[in-house]
Structure 1
Amino acid sequence: MTDRRTYSYLGPAGTFTEAALDQVPEARGHHWKPVHNVGEALGDVLSGVSHAAMIAIENSVEGGVSTTLDALATQPGLRIVGEYLVNVNFVLVAAPGTTLDDVSVIAAHPVAYAQCHSWLGAHLPKHSHVPAASNVASAIGILDGSLPAQAAIAAPGIVQHHELEVLAEDIGDNANAQTRFVLVTRTTTPVPPTGADKTSLIVELPEDHAGALLELLEQFSTRGINLSLLQSRPIGDELGRYRFVLDADGHVYDERMADALLGIRRFSPRVVFLGSYPRADRKIVQYPERYADDVFVEARDWLRGLIGGEPEA
């Protein structure tokens, strides 16, 4: 293969991020580079080390991933080109020969640990917890002795890469938990619309006054655009200053979405366009007929006619 690309992902092998990257057909057969954190993954993309990076952006239990959202807000030159969903399921693993009765200390990433409280309370009520840097690090830590624990919470795929014994399966509190991942490249033209698309933005409000957020939301509601995500993040320069992360149903090439972005740009001091890309669920975006593209085009033509002095029909 002459054009071998590199894709960065939160490693090592066996993570949920690797499972998300495995859903990208164009990434198969290329080099997958494990990294330690989101900043390193995005740095690879910006520096040209990697063609793209797979990063987690939202969890159905914990909400938006703050480190990812803040990185996307502050590092220019990035573009989301696709999203992928991974079912979040956990197993309790240990070194071969270990039984559940041997377990008194569990190694786990704090987020994974928080999603397994019910099972742990029912089956290991007297256990203690040792934090780990990642789900894979928790499993490796009990194998190499770097973590003082007898068992670890990890993703099911860990057993494909390490010699571990599964003590329990499906230990997560929410059987329907999912994590949303996005594939990020350097800034490029938006991928073509499919009819089942999503547009991601980060918007700062001009000032803190009554109705400021409402003015932002009205740019979408008055054009028939549904928001599937709205989350605030502190800007960090002083208390009370926030930026808003939004996922809007539709594509920037849609007339209604383009019109909404123009409306936002008129009053926001900073708008970060993260990208328009196919929805992971491929669900066709529905909207009232009065917000169809040809309605916006006809309205613009009508206005041009008024300005140009054309006789009205």
Structure 2
Amino acid sequence: MTFESDAPARRAYSYLGPAGTFTEAALAQVPEARGHEWRPVHNVAEALADVVEGRSHAAMIAIENSVDGGVSTAQDALATMPGLRIVGEYLVPVRFVLVGKPGTRLEDVSLIAAHPVAYAQCLQWLSEHLPAHAHIPAASNVASAVGLTDGTSDADAAIAPPGILEHHDVELLADGIGDNPNAVTRFVLVSRTVAPPSPTGADKTSIIAELPDDHPGALLEMLEQFATRGINLSLLASRPIGDELGRYRFVIDADGHVLDERMADALLGLRRFSPKVVFLGSYPRADRAIVHYPERYSDDVFVEARDWLRGLISGEPEE
């Protein structure tokens, strides 16, 4: 006699590797990913291609940083790769550590390997504690430390995420060396196109839209689709479309869910206005903050207005 296993099928999740990155820390926040395969990849395009081509169930990618703004490679990939949907967002505090080979002392450090973005976010601390240091650019935050252990780097120390200490034999020389203690990176979990989850009251909707043409007030007309329905925008970023100068697409995060009447009405207006709208998804906010809006934009108001219009068209007597 044979028995079928009740265990769920093993899934794969792609993330920007190797182990120890901030992206891995974001993936660790996803309960349904625990116990499944985590696939380290080299870049955002590879992570999303894994999803589109079926190698992974979902991919975790960085989409926005509180210090540096939107991650352009992720935004451009989501705008141009069809069949993707954001199903969740996760926040990871951006902390950096300074590490060296075992036995290294802070006073021995003169040459530091670091990714240029990480280096820029730690420059104030470095100038105060290691004013005579020199910098070697590294390909990634993890690669800066790996170069110390595998002998491919001439650096005395490296700037890396705290997770590096769990995966590599390095010495912690200093903790919390970032200049902005409030720095946060926002990550999104991306799957193949699926129906959005039910509204929670603390949701966000992400879209990418293009302007129909370049004329005075075009951007204002697009933004009015949201403003006239009481929808707050938490992100508005422009990215060049790439076919000619002066042509841009806009990455938008709007407070609310596509199943909210006000959001659905706004998206209908946007679709009539824009030649291309990419719906990236409606999903729970990472901070779980309830979205507040004026009562005149409640679902009941939109439903009543539609019922009123149907009555006019059908010839029902007005009360």
Query: By the TM > 0.5 criterion, same fold?
Result: yes
2:122 matches 1:116: yes
Tell me the residue number matched to 1:196. 202
* Residue number among 31, 55, 60 corresponding to 1:25 in the alignment: 31
Moved more, 75-84 or 119-128: 119-128
**1:239 aligned residue:** 245
2:301 matches 1:295: yes
Between the aligned partners of 1:235 and 1:113, the Cα distance in structure 2 is 30
**2:163 aligned to which of 148, 157, 182:** 157
Q: Could you tell me how far apart the structure 1 residues matched to 2:21 and 2:197 are?
A: 27
Deviation (angstroms), 1:2: 4.7
Residue number among 65, 68, 80 corresponding to 1:62 in the alignment: 68
* 1:148 CA drift (Å): 2.0
Compute the TM-score of the two structures, normalised by the length of structure 1: 0.99
Q: Note if 1:46 corresponds to 2:30.
A: no
Q: Which amino acid aligns with 2:210?
A: E
Paired residue type of 1:247: D
**1:87 pairs with 2:93:** yes
In structure 2, what is the Cα distance between the partners aligned to 1:229 and 1:243?
Answer: 13
Amino acid at match of 2:264: A
Deviations 1:117-162 (A, max 9, x none): 1001111122121111211111001111212211000111111111
User: What does residue range 1-313 of structure 1 map to in structure 2 within 5 Å?
Assistant: 1-313=7-319
Runs of 4+ in 1 over 4 A off after TM superposition: none
Identify unmatched segments of 5+ residues in structure 1.
none
CA offset digits 1:29-65 (Å, max 9, x no partner): 1111111110110010000000000000000000000
Deviation larger for 296-305 or 96-105: 96-105
Moved more, 140-149 or 15-24: 140-149
Relative to structure 1, is the Cα distance of residues 13 and 277 closer, same or farther in structure 2, using a 3 angstrom cutoff? same
Deviations 1:83-141, CA, capped at 9 Å, x for gaps: 00001100000000111122111111111111101001111122121111211111001
Mapped to 2, the partners of 1:246 and 1:148 lie a distance apart of 43
Q: TM-score, normalised by structure 2?
A: 0.97
Deviation digits for residues 12-40 of structure 1 (CA, Å, limit 9, x no counterpart): 11111011001000000111111111011
One-letter code aligned to 2:206 = S
Give the partner amino acid of 1:172: G
Query: What SS is found at the alignment partner of 1:112?
Result: helix
User: Which whole-Å CA distance do the structure 2 matches of 1:141 and 1:216 have between them?
Assistant: 48
The CA distance in 2 between the partners of 1:75 and 1:220, in whole Å, is 25
Following the alignment from structure 2 to structure 1, what is the Cα–Cα distance between the partners of residues 112 and 238? Answer: 33
- Name structure 2 gaps, 5 residues minimum: 1-6
List per-residue Cα deviations over 1:229-277 (Å, max 9, x = no partner).
0000111111111100000000000000000000011110100000000
- Greater alpha carbon shift after TM alignment, 170-179 vs 121-130: 121-130
Amino acid at match of 1:76: P
